[in-house]
Amino acid sequence: MGRLLLNCDMGESFGAWSMGLDAEVMPFIDCANIACGFHASDPQVMRRTVALAVEHAVRIGAHPAYPDLAGFGRRSMACSPAEVENMLLYQIGALDGICRAEGTRVRYVKPHGALYNDMMRQPALLRAVMRAVAAYDASLPLMLMSTRDNSASRALADELGIELLFEVFADRAYDAAGRLLARSLPGAVHHDAATVVEQALRLARGEALIASDGSALLLQADTLCVHGDNAGSVAAVQRIRQALQTLPA
């Protein structure tokens, strides 16, 4: 497999409200998922974050969401597939316009929050998301959750002519199907830094994790999601980056 890319959600401040430590984490990641104004961000934050990514040679991804500023995009909404397709086109285009002004372009798409989870459970929404990517620029990969069986997602992507980047998580526990355990369940989130780094290394080496039912779980891993919203998480990103650099090319 190729080198595991580190991705992080960025540009999620809004007006006078600041969120995340973008400047501190940007030097250690490969891909910045930049909010497009629906769940977070505004034009000033978007441009500032794009410029920061360009400064550190980090590839930029559009991070579109449901129109839910108050809920930070974490609440499912009763949007039709056509509405989802159109709202993605709107958000990708907005970020790509700012990227062009900074001498770069959007390089991939990763939906945010509830939309990300909903599309993995509702084939019609996943098709709508893929249709939007294909209509905007079929060369843009779509980042989505890796599970035990990715065959349906691959088949749909092949049908619509787009590429996929399968995403995994170092700080989350998985169920037998390869889906993330709900945060409300005990042990769903790993807080110990050593555990997080070890899981990142296992994923990068293509080794199996242990699912919540005790079964071996092998996940295709193109990119690893990391978080940088506090000093501890930034330190964890640094440790993961250093650990990955110890692996053979």
Burial letters for 55-92: b for 16+ Cβ neighbours within 10 Å, e otherwise? eeebbbbbbbbbebeeebbeeebebebeebbebbbebb
CATH class label, 5-169+222-228: alpha beta
Q: What is the CA radius of gyration of the chain?
A: 17
Domain boundaries, the chain: 5-169+222-228
pTM higher than the cut 0.75: yes
Backbone φ, ψ for residue 55 (5° rounding): -55, -35
Q: Over the stretch 136-173, which tens digit does the pLDDT of each residue have?
A: 999 999 999 999 999 999 999 999 999 999 999 998 99
- 17 is written with which tokens? 């409200």
pLDDT value at 28 more than 50 = yes
Q: Over the stretch 92-105, which tens digit does the pLDDT of each residue have?
A: 999 999 999 999 99
Task: Tell me the pLDDT of the chain averaged across its residues.
Answer: 94
Side-chain half-sphere of 82: how many Cα atoms within 13 Å?
0
Note the pLDDT of residue 231. 79
Q: H helices within the chain, ranges in order?
A: 22-25, 43-55, 81-101, 113-121, 123-137, 151-160, 193-204, 231-244
- 49 is written with which tokens? 């974050």
Beta-strand relationship, 209-210 and 216-217 = antiparallel
Rounded Cα gap, residues 12 and 185, in angstroms? 26
Residues paired with 5 in a beta bridge = 223
Side-chain half-sphere of 126: how many Cα atoms within 13 Å?
21
pLDDT value at 21 more than 80 = yes
Note the pLDDT of residue 6. 96
Q: Over the stretch 49-87, which tens digit does the pLDDT of each residue have?
A: 999 999 999 999 999 999 999 999 999 999 999 999 999
Rounded Cα gap, residues 181 and 70, in angstroms? 25
- 51 is written with which tokens? 């410029």
247 compared with 150, residue with greater pLDDT: 150
The amino acid that residue 140 corresponds to is: L
